[in-house]
Structure 1
Amino acid sequence: MKKFLFNRYDKDTLLKRVSTDSRERRVISFYRYVKIEDPLAFRNKLYDVFEDLGILGRIYLAKEGINAQFSIPVDNYDKLRAIVDSIPELNKIYFNDAVEDKKESFIKLAIKVRKKIVADGLDDSQFDPSDVGTHLTPLEFHAALAEPGVIVVDLRNNYESEVGHFENAILPDVGTFREELPIVEGILKEEKEKKILLYCTGGIRCEKASAYLKYKGFSHVHQLQGGIINYAKAVQDAGITSKFKGKNFVFDDRLGERITEDVLTVCYVCGKPSDRHTNCANLGCHVLLVQCEDCAKELLNCCSEECKKIVLLPEEEQKLLRKENRENKKYPTHHLTRKLVGK
């Protein structure tokens, strides 16, 4: 019988399968910049193995390496470790276990081949991407945060950093990593001899960013090993107070792991304190926003009254409207933008 190396089920079927699966799952991420000669063949090999292990999640492959976020039944965790270590490109790769595990974090396995594992906008031929900054363990990073004159830079997008960040960090107001590096370089242009501490969600963005900043003449570039995910677990295990406040935004259905009880932003609709991220229920909009529970209930999980009116239409009318808007290249202009209210 032929084995399919891709998902063949619709969303409702996938959700039902996950909800009725009683196995405890663990959310894991890992990455590595490593040369992969044939990403497509590598992809098919991984899909075959990972599907057998019950893995659900997103994995990106390119000739430059791998970037993975997924969940796995806890009973298969050790099997995964053994299999991964048997693959030369992945041998002894670091597993970043999530602080919070949610069974519905992922509902299907998707492994995709891309030009890059992170869209950084950089020409890698211009510098040495392997010449990265000094990796600091979470506790080393924690201690370094207290050093006088140190500069801390958040390498995530604005919608990530607004709900959680390290104290006194520089938070570039950008929507993509591609935009961020030139802006960070400009902000730090007079600080090339100072100690720079970089951090991101799991560490992958810091790899390229630290190499780029070193190429640009920054002398003391350091990065948080394993990112915020690793830091949160380490300080929890050590019983010390986290210097990261709020939530760590994650790119799965959880949309965030709570690190501390601090709420750093507000509902885009009403301005009340909230750090609950959601996507507008109108699939023709689907904008990511911070929205409190009360506004979500009032607007039926939509970002605005206009989108609420659309989701109240019969499903077939919604589909026709989305099709018409795509054909006419009409995009939503009514929904709320970041920091519209209360900031």
Structure 2
Amino acid sequence: MPLLHNRISNDVLRARMLAETEPRTTISFYKYFTIREPQSTRDALYQLFTSLDVFGRVYLAREGINAQISVPQSKVDTFRQRLYAFDPALAGLRLNVALDDNGKSFWVLRMKVRERIVADGIDDPAFDPGNVGDYLQAAEVNALLDDPDAVFIDMRNHYEYEVGHFENALEIPADTFREQLPKAVEMMQTRKDKKIVMYCTGGIRCEKASAWMKHNGFKQVWHIAGGIIEYVRRAREQGLPVRFIGKNFVFDERMGERITGDIIARCHQCGASCDSHTNCKNNGCHLLFIQCPACAKAFNGCCSEGCREERARRSGGAGAPGAEK
């Protein structure tokens, strides 16, 4: 019987990953295409990825695949060839390679079947997710950033936008992608004559968002091919000005890729210039927030005095009842 799930503890796996001597490459990719049997596809892909020592998160649904992974550098070419050969729909798929990468982004392979690869809340049988906006390459992105008739819409969450975004990009005030979609339509209702450019981290959210905008009657809709990651890579390769400012938030251990030296966010506790995300060290909280080194020391890695005291009580450290001062 083939192994289809991890059976080793996270602590052991993380220690193994940190002890590895071969460098790894962090890669993300997605593809909207019909998967008729997501579970059997998932099981076959799990065996393929495991055979190549791939770590990361992979989601499959009937609408396609979404993956953030790390691959040993010596196996990247083999991984690409075998992925392309796995299904005709994946042949030639763009693989976004991380911009600021130490290869220590994942230590276990988690592969799950979901209802959607991106939760969108769309329940409209007439919606065609394949009718997407036009793709934009790096030079075209820069040209539209200088076009007064163009509006760039950031389809990421607030905590992503907070640390980095394109110049003058519109933030959609919503906590989830499913809330952002109708909000974006609402916010642009009086600006239907504008050129709309959607963007996100790697392209998966903005591609579907561009289709939703077209479904709602917007005619001039684009989205950035490969998202921020691909834009920055191509702009650097081509010697173009990089117009994304700050840090690109990523969903792995790094929590961010430095794009420019600009720090546009502030510590949520003291207001100092800072764009380093962390999770509250209180196990009962784990809030994602921005914290500067001084506050990390003062609050022991926690988001508040209450969480600092709770963490101390749980560990029996300073501040716990009966602990030595």
TM-score normalised over the length of structure 2: 0.94
Matched, 1:36 2:35: yes
SS in 1 for 2:260: coil
Report deviation, 1:316. 10
Matching of residues 231-242 of structure 1 within 5 Å: 231-242=231-242
Greater shift after overlay, 100-109 or 14-23?
Answer: 100-109
CA distance in 2, matches of 1:202, 1:128: 21
Report deviation, 1:164. 0.2
SS in 1 for 2:49: helix
Deviations 1:47-73 (A, max 9, x none): 111011111100000011000011111
Matching of residues 1-343 of structure 1 within 5 Å: 2-88=1-87, 89-314=89-314
CA distance in 2, matches of 1:315, 1:12: 19
Specify the code of the residue in structure 1 equivalent to 2:67. Answer: A
Deviations 1:159-212 (A, max 9, x none): 110100000110112211111011111111011122111100000111211111
Specify the code of the residue in structure 1 equivalent to 2:139. Answer: L
2:268–2:291 contact (8 Å) kept in structure 1? yes
2:105–2:253 contact (8 Å) kept in structure 1? yes
CA distance in 1, matches of 2:232, 2:277: 20
Gaps of 5+ in 1: 318-343
Report deviation, 1:301. 1.1
CA distance in 2, matches of 1:248, 1:45: 32
Report deviation, 1:126. 2.7
Report deviation, 1:9. 1.9
Deviations 1:247-305 (A, max 9, x none): 00111111110100111110001110100001111121001001111111221211112
Percent of aligned positions that are identical: 46
Question: How many pairs align?
Answer: 316
CA distance in 2, matches of 1:49, 1:169: 40
Specify the code of the residue in structure 1 equivalent to 2:215. Answer: Y
CA distance in 2, matches of 1:283, 1:102: 27
Specify the code of the residue in structure 2 equivalent to 1:5. Answer: L
CA distance in 2, matches of 1:84, 1:124: 32
2:24–2:104 contact (8 Å) kept in structure 1? no
Equivalence for 2:323? none
Report deviation, 1:91. 1.6
CA distance in 1, matches of 2:23, 2:140: 32
Q: Stretches of 4+ moved more than 3 A in 1?
A: 313-317
CA distance in 2, matches of 1:104, 1:119: 27
Specify the code of the residue in structure 2 equivalent to 1:217. Answer: G
CA distance in 1, matches of 2:126, 2:197: 23
Report deviation, 1:313. 3.2
SS in 2 for 1:27: strand
TM-score normalised over the length of structure 1: 0.89
Report deviation, 1:310. 2.1
Gaps of 5+ in 2: 318-325
CA distance in 1, matches of 2:102, 2:114: 27
Deviations 1:13-37 (A, max 9, x none): 1111011101111111110111101
CA distance in 2, matches of 1:150, 1:43: 40
CA distance in 2, matches of 1:123, 1:27: 34
Report deviation, 1:240. 2.6
CA distance in 1, matches of 2:216, 2:43: 38
1:18–1:103 contact (8 Å) kept in structure 2? no
The two structures, once aligned, show a CA RMSD in angstroms of: 1.5
CA distance in 2, matches of 1:226, 1:26: 17
Specify the code of the residue in structure 2 equivalent to 1:31. Answer: Y
CA distance in 2, matches of 1:249, 1:314: 31
Specify the code of the residue in structure 1 equivalent to 2:94. Answer: Y
Specify the code of the residue in structure 1 equivalent to 2:240. Answer: I
SS in 2 for 1:282: coil
